[in-house]
Amino acid sequence: MTQPEDRPELAPNQTPGLVCSHNHFYSALARGMPAPPRTPTSFPEILELVWWRLDLALDLDLIEWSAKLAALTALESGCTAIIDHHESPNAIEGSLSVIADACAEVGVRVNCAYGITDRHGPEGAAAGLAENDRFLSTGGRGMVGLHAAFTCEPDTIAAAAELAERHGVGVHVHVAEGEVDTWRRLQGHTNDRWLLIHGVHLPDDHGLAGTIVHNPRSNMNNAVGYANPRRFTNPVALGTDGIGTDMLDEFRVAFVKTREVDVTVGPDVAWSWLERNWSLFPEAGSDVVTWSYAPMEPWRLAYTTQVRPTRVEVDGEVVWVDGRPTRVDGDEIKAKAAEAAQRLFARLESF
Ligand SMILES: [Zn+2]
């Protein structure tokens, strides 16, 4: 296994902390939510009938419990660093700090971004921009978030790119996830620090700079098509798009998708995407996860399910051991998150 530099010597049953390069912690409470008013028949309808109702219902308390639950789940999966993309149109100000504080309490690393969008008019876009600026200005670890080019006016995209430049960070944005997308609006703004999420419908010669983050399980779940990221010259990393933080599992899914279109492909390709995550969150390279299996090699892990961490060390501190977090009461978080989920489900009725 290729290891990040400056990391501790690892045993065959150990890896650095795994990284998830695209997540939505706010979706952690969504499981079990009431069915939408009607069954979505396309990706745009999935957004309108499920996610754009759910994000409207979020308040800061719900964001806190979803983030704590998601952070706990990350440790359960040996994932010590998450690049999160957040949206809560009715609770924008302060939302990124709530997520960062929740993760700090549990003991996982997080990179936060608020997904700016014009879906709620120019005031909504301005508030999203301001939240990214506030969080980054106060020393928060993050990027500038944009929902997607197709929900943002060109001026909003330019403002986000300018804000990111001012803070010396990249922009974290969904790109060409569905067939109908205005990704060309991003041309002329991108650089190597940008995270381009999905890229399913990007042409090979799209001309955008940045790392493409592949989320194969989510793409299948939304029936948007296969990104086939091997075709790009951009670096490729791996995320879950909010369906947990089990990066070994996402690696397996990414691997079988490559095999589905080319049976000669080995697991080294999907594994290289998982390894690329460390370049986006280098601190996780010094975290140490001890696993229930050895050796932690791609050909073995591609076909070995149920590999679990037995011990997780973040920044020199053991934060997970023998099935339990050390800093927080995991049972209490799960119970409080379950209560919060019921409140969220009740609020959904009004959106
Ligand atoms: Zn996403």
* Distance between Cα 343 and ligand 1 center (Å): 24
Give the residue ranges of DSSP H helices in 195-267: 216-221, 247-261
* Distance between Cα 145 and ligand 1 center (Å): 11
Please tell me the predicted confidence (pLDDT) of residue 350.
Answer: 79
Separation of alpha carbons 180 and 113, rounded Å: 24
- Residue where the block lists tokens 């697991």: 267
* Distance between Cα 271 and ligand 1 center (Å): 21
- The verdict on residue 19 lying in a domain is yes
Please tell me the predicted confidence (pLDDT) of residue 2.
Answer: 53
* Distance between Cα 316 and ligand 1 center (Å): 31
* Distance between Cα 24 and ligand 1 center (Å): 6
* Distance between Cα 178 and ligand 1 center (Å): 12
- The verdict on residue 193 lying in a domain is yes
Predicted model pTM: 0.96
- The verdict on residue 4 lying in a domain is no
Please tell me the predicted confidence (pLDDT) of residue 181.
Answer: 86
Would you state the structure tokens that stand for residue 232, as one six-digit string? Answer: 């790009």
- The verdict on residue 260 lying in a domain is yes
* Kind and range of the H or E run holding 314: strand 309-314
List 288's β-bridge partners, or say none.
16, 313
pLDDT tens, N- to C-terminus, the chain (351 residues): 555 556 678 999 999 999 999 999 999 999 999 999 899 999 999 988 898 899 999 999 999 999 999 999 999 999 999 999 999 999 999 999 999 999 999 999 999 999 999 999 999 999 999 999 999 999 999 999 999 999 999 999 999 999 999 999 999 999 999 998 899 999 999 999 999 999 999 999 999 999 999 999 999 999 999 999 999 999 999 999 999 999 999 999 999 999 999 999 999 999 999 999 999 999 999 999 999 999 999 999 999 999 999 999 999 999 999 999 999 999 999 999 999 999 999 998 877
* Distance between Cα 242 and ligand 1 center (Å): 7
- Work out whether the CA dihedral 120, 124, 129, 135 comes out positive or negative: negative
Please tell me the predicted confidence (pLDDT) of residue 217.
Answer: 98
- The verdict on residue 5 lying in a domain is no
* Distance between Cα 72 and ligand 1 center (Å): 20
Our CA dihedral for 145, 149, 155, 158, rounded to 10 degrees, sits at 50
* Distance between Cα 142 and ligand 1 center (Å): 16
Ranges of beta strands (E only) in 179-254 are 195-198, 211-214, 236-238
* Distance between Cα 243 and ligand 1 center (Å): 10
* Distance between Cα 12 and ligand 1 center (Å): 33
* Distance between Cα 295 and ligand 1 center (Å): 32
Would you state the structure tokens that stand for residue 206, as one six-digit string? Answer: 């799209």
Would you state the structure tokens that stand for residue 306, as one six-digit string? Answer: 């149920």
User: Looking at the 3D structure of the chain, how many domains does it have?
Assistant: 1
Across 148-180, b (16+ Cβ under 10 Å) vs e yields bbbbbeeebbebbbebbeebebbbbbbbbbbee
* Distance between Cα 177 and ligand 1 center (Å): 9
* Distance between Cα 218 and ligand 1 center (Å): 9
* Kind and range of the H or E run holding 111: strand 109-111
- The verdict on residue 205 lying in a domain is yes
How do 195-198 and 171-175 pair as beta strands? parallel
| DSSP one-letter string for 30-79 | -TTPPPPSS---SHHHHIIIIIHHHGGG--HHHHHHHHHHHHHHHHHTTE
* Distance between Cα 322 and ligand 1 center (Å): 32
Task: Provide the CA 156 distance to its chain's centre, in angstroms.
Answer: 22
- The verdict on residue 319 lying in a domain is yes
Nearest to 317 by CA among 288, 343, 294, 293: 288
* Distance between Cα 22 and ligand 1 center (Å): 6
* Distance between Cα 197 and ligand 1 center (Å): 7
CATH number of the domain where residue 51 is located: 3.20.20.140
Residue type, 335: A
- Give yes or no for a cis peptide into 229 (omega within 30° of 0): no
Separation of alpha carbons 61 and 160, rounded Å: 27
- Residue where the block lists tokens 């049953």: 13
- The verdict on residue 2 lying in a domain is no
Separation of alpha carbons 70 and 73, rounded Å: 5
- Work out whether the CA dihedral 263, 269, 273, 274 comes out positive or negative: positive
Range of the domain at 77: 14-348
* Distance between Cα 263 and ligand 1 center (Å): 28
* Distance between Cα 317 and ligand 1 center (Å): 30
Indicate the angle between helix axes 95-106 and 121-137, nearest 10 degrees: 40
